[in-house]
Amino acid sequence: MRPLEYGEPVILWETGRGRTFLLTLTPGEVFHSHRGIIRHDDVAGKPEGSEVLSSTGHPFVAFRPRVADRMMKVRRQTQIVYPKDAGWLVLALDLFPGARVVEMGTGSGAFTILLAQLVGPTGKVYTFDRRPDFLYNALQNLKKLGYAERVEAQILEAGQPFPVSDVDAVFLDLPTPWEAIPPAREALAPGRPVALLVPTAEQLKQAVKALAENGFVWIEAVEILERKMLVREREGVRPLERMVGFTGYLVSARKALLPRIEEAAISFPEEEPGGLEE
C-alpha cells in the first residue's frame, strides 16, 4: 500500500467526536483545528490509517477520502444529492466504466463527482446547468479531485435539446424535470434508464406523468430515510435522536420503443417487496 503523498486529498478523522476534515497535503502547510495544529509534513509519508497527533496531543487518523466523503465536502452553493440517495440513483442509472451519462442540474457538483468516478477515465459525464456560477464552482470542485477531464460542462436551459445522443443514462435534478424529459428521451439510447430527484409530491406527480407520455416505462418512485444507531457497551443500543429524513423523491424509468404508451403503463408495486422481484 502506497503511503499518503503530497498533492493528494486526505481526510482526518477526529478520535472521540468523529468529526472529519478534508485537506490536500502540501509541503510546509499547517492544518488548524480546535484540537491544535497538524503539520502536513507529519502526515505525508505515513501509511493510510495512521494516527497523527495534533500540537495538543489529540489523536486523529488519516485516511484517503471515500467518494461519499468527497461529495459531502464540496464547496456548496446549492443543496446536494446525499449519499443515501446517491446509491439508489446510480444503481437505477446502471452505470459502468466507459459509460456516457447526461446530468441536468449540476448544482455544486457533488453527484457529478460520483458519476465521474463510476464512468472512469474512458467514460464521460455531460453536465448541464442554467447558472454559470454553479457550473464554475462545480468544475472547481471536480478539478480539486482530478476528475475535470472526465466531465464536459455547458450552460443549458431546461427543455433545450442535449447536444449528445445515444448516451447510456440521464439524470435530472431540477425544479421542473418534466421540461427536460423529452430531450432526455432523444438523448438516450434505446432501453437505457433515466433517473430523477424531485423535492415535492406535486412535482413527482407531474414528472411521472411526463415520463409516461414520453415513452418511458417501468416507472418507479421511492423515498429513502437514514437513521444511524448509537452502539455503546454499557448504555446498550438505540437509534440516534437525529436522522437524515426526507431529502427528495427518487424516480427511475426506462426508454421503451413502443408505438403508443398508454397511461396504464405506469405501474408501482402494490406492496413493498422484501427483496428483488423475480
Q: Is residue 188 part of a domain?
A: yes
Task: Judge contact between 191 and 218, C-beta under 8 A.
Answer: no
Q: Is residue 99 part of a domain?
A: yes
Which tops the pLDDT comparison, 244 or 173?
173
**CATH number for position 105:** 3.40.50.150
Q: Is residue 273 part of a domain?
A: no
pLDDT of amino acid 78: 61
How far apart CA 84 and CA 225 sit, in angstroms, is 8
Q: Does residue 163 share a domain with residue 58?
A: no
Does position 260 have pLDDT exceeding 60, yes or no? no
CA distances (Å), origin 207, targets 169, 180, 188, 222, 253: 17, 10, 17, 13, 11
Q: Does residue 80 share a domain with residue 25?
A: no
- Quick one: what percent of the chain has pLDDT higher than 70? 88
The count of domains in the chain is 2
How far apart CA 227 and CA 35 sit, in angstroms, is 28
How far apart CA 109 and CA 144 sit, in angstroms, is 12
pLDDT of amino acid 277: 47
Q: Does residue 42 share a domain with residue 152?
A: no
Complete DSSP assignment for 243-254: -B----EEEEEE
Q: Is the pTM of this model over 0.85?
A: no
Q: Does residue 120 share a domain with residue 217?
A: yes
Q: Does residue 113 share a domain with residue 40?
A: no
pLDDT of amino acid 39: 95
Range of the domain at 202: 69-265
**CATH number for position 32:** 3.10.330.20
How far apart CA 157 and CA 252 sit, in angstroms, is 22
Which ranges constitute the DSSP H helices of 120-170? 132-144
Which tops the pLDDT comparison, 263 or 41?
41
How far apart CA 253 and CA 234 sit, in angstroms, is 47
Size of the chain in residues: 278
Residue type, 88: W
Residue 198's pLDDT band, with cuts at 50, 70 and 90, is very high
Closest to 211 measured CA to CA, from 175, 247, 252, 162: 252
Does position 278 have pLDDT exceeding 60, yes or no? no
The mean pLDDT of the chain is 87
Q: Does residue 40 share a domain with residue 97?
A: no
Does position 268 have pLDDT exceeding 80, yes or no? no
Residue where one domain finishes, among candidates 65, 88, 106: 65
Which tops the pLDDT comparison, 77 or 8?
8
pLDDT of amino acid 81: 73
Stretch 180-197: mean pLDDT: 97
Stretch 155-176: mean pLDDT: 96
Does position 29 have pLDDT exceeding 90, yes or no? yes
Q: What angle do CA 199, 201, 204 make, to 5 degrees?
A: 75
Looking from the CA of 243 toward its CB, the CA atoms found within 13 Å total 14
pLDDT tens-digit profile of 108-152? 888 999 999 999 999 999 999 999 998 999 898 888 888 889 999
Q: Is residue 275 part of a domain?
A: no
Q: Does residue 258 share a domain with residue 127?
A: yes
pLDDT of amino acid 264: 38
Q: Does residue 41 share a domain with residue 76?
A: no
pLDDT tens-digit profile of 229-250? 878 877 788 877 776 666 789 9
Torsion of CA 238, 240, 246, 247, to 10 degrees: -130
